[in-house]
Structure 1
Amino acid sequence: MLTSGPVRVAAASIAVGALTGSVVLTLMRVTTPSAVWFVAFTALVPLAVLGYALSAVLLLLLRRRSTGGLRRGLGTAAAVAVAGLLFHSLLVAPAFTGAHAALAAGGRPDLSVMTLNLRFGEADAARAVALAREHGVDVLVLEEVTPSARERLRAAGLDALLPHAAGSTSVTASGTMVFSAYPLSGVTRLPVRNGAWRVQVAASEPFTLFAVHTSQPLHGPARWERDWDALDRAVRAQAGPRLVVGDYNATLDHRPVRRLLDAGFADAARTANAGWQPTWPTRQVTKYRSPVGLMAIDHVLHSADFDVASTATAEVDGTDHRALLARIVR
């Protein structure tokens, strides 16, 4: 293996490229700079695990075929790759380790929550409602709900399924709505550009829901950061059981989300040991078509009052986001 000169050159190029890209992602995770493209790159931090693993294997193989100073240099680079692999493995480990909530056979969670970005109202409304019905959803948070999408949701039977609603529609990306099987009260709009609401949900054990859709950072990280500052203050100021649900336009590696995690919140997918569960992009929309999801930017964060039995994602035609469902227990 790696016996010919051209093969070794190609392997070295791949190893250097993978290691360099992974080191950049590590720096993004550690420093979380505010420049627009750096914010975007931070969303890809979990992919560094693959880059470090690939570069470590190739560098160690090349080292076996080398001598002298080159051998020492390759050994140093391989050590960097292994260290990076260990660091990023520790970041993703919480998704695969530890105890999580379990349901008895045939049991039902205390609360089933779903969120979906409708992509300017173009998502298949009937499919969205069918998913909510199929999974026994109690609370549904929808982003980018246009007036026409609201009518299609009504025609598909959403109002009969979840009769309590809060929020508003919009012809822009700021149409965020909550649909619930339980009465809603204390509906308060938060100063978040794409629409965010604080709502009291009168479930059997009441809780506060934050329905979230922050700005897209590529449109301006300063606006994105202002949204997160407002949301962070509102969430921290609220006492009692809380869920923060919606399109974050951020991953768990972005500093604003990490602030909430440091404040005692947990991500439902990680609590459930769901593993790698990206929500964007999907194969459904030409502009962002991708054979695989690249990042998890839709989330259900929960306070310590909740546990999570499982999470799952599902594709819906017409939108570049996957629906995210969480089965929650108290």
Structure 2
Amino acid sequence: MNVRPGLLLTLLLVIGGLGVLAGVLIGSTGWADLQDDGMAVILWEIRLPRSLGAWCAGALLGMAGAMAQGLFRNPLADPYLLGSASGAGLAVAVALALTGVSPQTSSLLAHVGLTGIAFVGTLVGVGLTLVLARGVEQTLRLLLAGVVVGVVLNALTGLATLWAPDILRAMQAFLLGNTGLLGWSSVAVMAASGAAALLIGLVASPALDALTLGEATAASLGVRMGLVRLLLIFAFALATGAAVAQTGIVAFVGLVAPHLVRVLCPMLHGRLILLSAAAGGALLLAADVLARGLIRPQELPVGLVTALLGGVYLLVLMHRRGAPKR
């Protein structure tokens, strides 16, 4: 299948717009009662920023996944590859363990400091990966360092939950993804981070196109690989950190969105990054609406929905590619 990039972008943005409308009108209690005078406050202050925030988080993860896959020349690379999610999870676990999880403390952390703590943890995880890899010069060392840092930080997170088992429920909400606390400030932070990351990605996209021919060829074309790697790692760490800090760890969006765009419309990296952002936003927003509506009045963690949808998509893709040709 080969769809024109302009048509695909328009389609994805329309799907995103319809998703925002559905997210505003559909809640865990059912359809919005537009005749209720108090409903306007709920729609404007809760549902609209939550829906826009879910789209922004998905867009951040989608563009970060496209950058990571281009940089590492690996279609299985995702935004959490360099220890960002593991660092965020450990930071949140330590913060909850040290402060406790009383309703007053957890509310204060959730609204004041928890997103900042998660963002700092993301940067620490990526920083440790860069230190262990001794810089950004060797792609294989970066990949291996990211795996090692992720395993170690996840183990430390497990130790923190064993040390303070009362934090297990709060940690579960973070590790499975949660869009319930998104507000207008979250939308502003993610939009600003996304604009900066997208700008860097678009500037570096010609280097990613050259990199598809191999590092030696890219270097012979004048690409400064060290600088390009550093800029792209900063860009997708910024995008991933902003998304994880606001919504927790949402699985598969950053991996599936670039895949879906490539299947529909193979293209160079500049358009791929932009379209992956639109696809990621539409995917996470659709998952958020499903999470609210499937088992009303309760809500599923949005990360569970994305994991199920993403896993099914990848299984179907593997089956199609592995099927013998007739």
TM beyond 0.5: no
Whichever of the two has the greater Rg, that structure is 1
TM norm structure 1: 0.26
More helix by share: 2
TM norm structure 2: 0.27
